[in-house]
Amino acid sequence: MIVPLDRAREAEFRAIVDGKAKPPGALGRIEDLAVRLALITGRPDPRCDRARLLIFAGDHGLNQSGVSAYPSDVTAAMVATFLAGKASANAFARAVGCDISIIDAGVAADLPPHPHLIAYNIARGTANAAVEPAMSFSQLDQALKAGAGLAKSCNAELLAIGEMGIGNTASAALILHRLAPAPLDDCIGLGAGHDAEGLARKRAVLHEAAARTAATEPREVLAEFGGFEIAMMAGAVLGAAEARVPMVVDGFIASVAALAAIRLEPACADYCIFAHRSAEKGHAILLEALGVEPLLSLDLRLGEGTGALLAIPIVRAAAALIGEVASLDDVLAGRL
């Protein structure tokens, strides 16, 4: 069960932050984040030391219709790169002191067993959403349950979600179109690097997919257009909220998963910290639809959880502000 934040304690936690050895409001939005972390955890000294990034990987049947500039084989190749510790996400995770779990949500390849690979393969990629539903409701429920279970079993004080899946900006654009809602063309971006011809092809395929179904209910939309990695990320957001663990949300695709989770369970919005404003077209629309301001804006559009990782030190700093900084009263009384 997801419990909305207890706003009755907001004034208490705000007074603690305002009473620190600094002018009230001097640390801007970090002060708001500190209060929210206290509300999420129910503690005036929230801890965010044990952080874990969950990277969900999956392939998309939409790629059969040419929605990506890259073949689906790249998904499995990047999973191998994560497991070798050589991807951008690995480097950033080492830089900020965050653990990583790699989850095979639905990669369209045989992935050899690896001690750091969690095998939850629902199927070898989704069906082609341009011609049929991407997944069954049974597969969707499997993915949501797996993601929630992973989030709740991590024993982390701070969670983050990222993804890898060739074609997943196409899937995310369709989900955003229905769940924001927003005009489809406004939701379609360059993805991994289309030229003008590739973008036109992607747009035509997505209009074909959108014309196939009028789905607007969140579970229907995820089943019709989602990827297994997107559905598992949505489940992870739900699981983190149920466990009262703050969830740092990466860029466009991870944010679409969070949007789906919020449409399913509105209370989980309280537990989501949006890391950055992606350069991918559509992300600004999503953030506006949710009424949120991300922590960073660095023109990132890689995915993998890279933006979420860069935001983790900010989240930790906010927790340290409310939990560790001396009060002005103590400073003036010499009680240090």
The 10 Å CB-count burial string (b at 16+, else e) for 266-304 is eebbbbbbbbbbbbbbbbbbbbebbebebbeeeebbbbb
CA distance 59 to 61: 7
Is 304 one of the catalytic residues? yes
Of the residues 10, 31, 304, 324, which is catalytic?
A: 304
Smallest CA-to-CA distance from 100 within 156, 152, 141, 59 is with 156
Q: What is the 3-state secondary structure (H, E, C) of 55-79?
A: EEEECCHHHHHCCCCCCCHHHHHHH
User: Where are the alpha helices (H) located in 244-297, listed in sequence order?
Assistant: 252-264, 283-290
Dihedral sign computed on CA atoms, order 20, 21, 23, 25? negative
Helix H or strand E encompassing 218: helix 218-225
The catalytic residues are 304
